[in-house]
Structure 1
Amino acid sequence: MRLLRSTDLALRVLMRLAVAADATPTTRQVAADMEVPYTHAAKVVAELQHLGLVDARRGRGGGLALTEKGRTASVGAVVRVFEGDGDVVECEGATPCPLRSGCRLRGALRRAQEAFYASLDPITIGEIVAEPTGRLLLGISRAPGG
């Protein structure tokens, strides 16, 4: 299974903010830290804010901060939101699969996908930034304006 780029970025943004301590980096700073285009980061941050995982404030003294909900959020729940409800394979698309009426693969892949999510459900954002990850994240952070 391969995660969407937006899912990967959402997790990395949450992790970055989880170690920000008292700092409130901007979306532009986080994008630079994660080495991703600002536009991609901005879309992901907007969705994280909509979910209540990130607090984003504009203007002087503004920036991004992880909410308590974000710190305790389940990695599995975040992945589910960003990946959506779609199946691993598309059986009903523009050219439907000729095996769809009796195929057992679709069900097996759906169970495997749910097992993947279930294995991530008990892990929180706060837990995945424990050492040594937290130290590494702080090491890649750039100073404001730099």
Structure 2
Amino acid sequence: MQLTGFTDLALRLLMRLVVLEPGVSTTTEALSQELDVRYSHAVKAMAALQRLGVVESRRGRNGGVRLADGAGSVSIGFLAGELEGPREVVTCEGASPCPLRGGCGLRSALRVAREAFFASLDSVTVADVAAPPTRQLLLTIAARPA
């Protein structure tokens, strides 16, 4: 299974936020530069993370984004599943519908496999994926010149 670029970006943004000192904020613009991604994509991913309650944002002069309290213990499986949404692994409908769609067992088998994929990530937390040695890499990204 392959995650969408959107989910990948959202998880990388979250990993970068988890290594900030507690209570410290940064900006989505700074994060997009550090991770070398488009600002507009980072804004959309950050909005999704905020809706999921793992990121807090504040507007204004002292504003910014930061990890929400307790977000480090949130499951990667939960986040990936929510960010990916309920889409199917294969598309049986559309301009050229699959002639097997009425009685094929593949679609349901792939749906079960998709759920198993996310379930296998349920024991991995946000803090786990940002632990050493990844932590040092994340801190290095922030320290490099723009």
Structure 2 distance, partners of 1:135, 1:83, is 28
1:37 alignment partner in structure 2: 38
Counterpart Cα distance in 2 of 1:110 and 1:3:
14
Deviations 1:74-126 (A, max 9, x none): 10111111111011001133432110111111122111111110111111101
* Separation of aligned partners in 1, 2:74 and 2:96: 38
- The amino acid across from 1:100 in the alignment is R
Query: How big is the shift at 1:69?
Result: 3.7
Query: 2-side partners of 1:115 and 1:81: how far apart?
Result: 14
Instruction: Check if 1:126 corresponds to 2:91.
Output: no
Question: Equivalents in 1 of 2:51, 2:119: separation in Å?
Answer: 24
State the AA in 2 paired with 1:16.
R
Alpha-carbon offset, residue 142 of structure 1: 4.2
> Within the alignment, does 1:71 sit opposite 2:72 as a pair?
yes
Whether 1:6 and 2:6 are equivalent positions in the alignment is yes
Superposition TM-score, scaled by structure 1 size: 0.92
Point out where structure 2 has 5 or more consecutive residues left out of the alignment. Answer: none
**1:132 partner letter:** P
Gaps of 5+ in 1: none
Equivalent pairs, count = 145
Distance 1:62 1:113 in 2: 38
Matched with 1:16 is 16
Q: CA RMSD in A?
A: 1.6
Which residue is equivalent to 1:140?
141
Q: Specify the alignment match of 1:105 in structure 2.
A: 106
The alpha-carbon deviation at position 2 of structure 1 amounts to 1.4
Task: Give the deviation of 1:45 after TM superposition.
Answer: 0.7
Contact 1:29–1:142 (CA<8 Å) still a contact in 2? no
